Structure 1
Amino acid sequence: METLTLTLIPNLPLFFTQFLIIYLIAYFIVFRNWNPKFRPEAASCFISLAHGTPAAFLATRAILSHPNPSFSSINTDSQNTVLDYSIAYFLMDLVHYLVFYPSDMLFIGHHLATLFVFVTCRYVANHGAFAILVLLVLAEVTSLCQNTWTLARARRDDSKTAAKVYEFLSPPFYALYSVVRGLAGPVFMYKMIVFYWSGNADGVIPTWVWVSWVVVVVMAISVSILWISNLWVELYRERTGKIEKKTS
């Protein structure tokens, strides 16, 4: 097991360097003509695109390839690689927030908590990646749509194309996000809590580890539900306002 860990550790700096390069390319080349106010956020979305969908596919493959998956099963090489990939991304995006938005404690706290879950699963317990990767898939399955929506939202006031993309994507994105974060996430989280609470992971995953996972994920899901609820309200007000303007 020690040999396995030592072998996979170099993946982390390799992946981090990859995301750093992608971020710099996005900031200085892809979005060089954007308003400086939006360039950092756009670069962050760019590395999120590079992480989200690939991570979802890689995590799904790693989950399905496990010979005996369970909430307490030992991590496989492929599962640990996906965890390293995600750790590297969140580290890079955390640096982004610390540099450009040091007062945004919500996102900084979110990234620190997420990193804690990934790092403890990967380097402390070396078990439970099945549960963490399923949650990763649920979190990242909306990544492509969400980042496209975020970029369009940033430019909707000065670009008609961006405004149209934002308006077109909002309802389906909100609906998908609501189903994944508001339904699938809580259901899977409930099963995870029941499994760990029953003691099936005793002796494999320390109690403080799985309890911290549960706390972090429940808080993340709660914030996500609150966020998407606010967006639904905002969308309703926007559409209602447009209808009133047309009829007045």
Structure 2
Amino acid sequence: MDFHLPFFFSIFFTIYLTAHFIIFRNWSPKLRPDAASCSISFAHGTPAAIFAFQSIISDANRGFASPNTAFQNSVLEYSIAYFIMDLFHYLIFNPSDVLFIGHHVATLFVFLTCRYLVVHGAYGILVLLILAEVTSFFQNVWTLAGVLRVESKVAAQVFDVLSPPFYAFYSVVRGFFGPFFVYKMMGFYLSGEADDVIPRWVWVSWICVVVAAISVSILWICNKWVELYRERIAVVEKEKKVR
């Protein structure tokens, strides 16, 4: 592995420790780890989406089977470093959260094989990264507000105001654009045009991981819509009783 991955990991490690012991030092010990995790997610999500977009448009030969450019490899390494750091967070503080741990391991498999094994196909993987991270800023703000809403009225108000637009944005990205792009990606790989540079078992694994991730995302956002609906109905019923 080259120098980029250890360097990127050191950045996320430093951000995590800074958030945990300095920025959120006044938060309760139970909340600080999640806040630190959100901090490295802030540092990864939007920048990764921007870098991924730039690396794609700067490649004139971009395609599902095209060789990775140096810029694209760097973006993959940036994301690999983040997911390794956040995986450590979950293994230490939330070892029972099998869903997120499994998600991180599967995502790392895709990024690592694309970057270090086949060194092709970064175009498709990075487009999916953009679709995954374009909502991350709003999700992190929403998550932090949700963590604090029991202790802070302001946080509770931010959570309540942000939930509907965040859910709508997330639903469109994960429920429409994500599946549509995976459909195009799968159609290309099934044609066999990439078999010379990306072994079939690799791209099949990628598709399986991505389909599973999108399916879980859709199920998650559907549950959030149901929870929101129930909460709003409960508020309406409570107001009727007061009247």
* TM-score under structure 1 length normalisation: 0.96
Deviations 1:127-149 (A, max 9, x none): 00000000000000001000000
Report how many aligned residue pairs link the two structures.
Answer: 241
Q: Does 1:178 align with 2:171?
A: yes
One of 102, 112, 115 as aligned partner of 2:108: 115
Regions of 4+ moved over 2 Å = none
Displacement of 1:109 after TM fit? 0.7
Separation in structure 2 between the aligned mates of residue 229 and residue 208 of structure 1, nearest angstrom: 31
Displacement of 1:237 after TM fit? 0.6
SS in 2 for 1:202: coil
Separation in structure 2 between the aligned mates of residue 129 and residue 159 of structure 1, nearest angstrom: 43
The correspondence of residues 14-25 of structure 1 with structure 2, limited to 5 A, is: 14-25=7-18
Q: Which residue of 2 aligns with 1:241?
A: 234
One of 166, 187, 191 as aligned partner of 1:194: 187
Q: Which residue of 1 aligns with 2:21?
A: 28
Separation in structure 2 between the aligned mates of residue 66 and residue 209 of structure 1, nearest angstrom: 23
RMSD, matched Cα: 0.7
One of 32, 36, 42 as aligned partner of 1:39: 32
Q: Does 1:61 align with 2:54?
A: yes
One of 146, 160, 184 as aligned partner of 1:167: 160
Separation in structure 2 between the aligned mates of residue 52 and residue 138 of structure 1, nearest angstrom: 10
Amino-acid identity (%): 66
Separation in structure 2 between the aligned mates of residue 219 and residue 33 of structure 1, nearest angstrom: 38
Q: Does 1:87 align with 2:80?
A: yes
Displacement of 1:36 after TM fit? 1.2
Q: Does 1:225 align with 2:227?
A: no
- Unaligned runs of at least 5 residues, structure 1: 1-5
Separation in structure 1 between the aligned mates of residue 91 and residue 19 of structure 2, nearest angstrom: 18
Separation in structure 2 between the aligned mates of residue 238 and residue 104 of structure 1, nearest angstrom: 25
Separation in structure 2 between the aligned mates of residue 68 and residue 177 of structure 1, nearest angstrom: 30
Q: Which residue of 1 aligns with 2:131?
A: 138
Deviations 1:71-114 (A, max 9, x none): 01000010000000000000000011111111211111110000
Separation in structure 2 between the aligned mates of residue 84 and residue 148 of structure 1, nearest angstrom: 25
Q: Does 1:153 align with 2:146?
A: yes
Displacement of 1:200 after TM fit? 1.1
Stretch moving more, 98-107 or 217-226: 98-107
- Unaligned runs of at least 5 residues, structure 2: none
Displacement of 1:68 after TM fit? 1.3
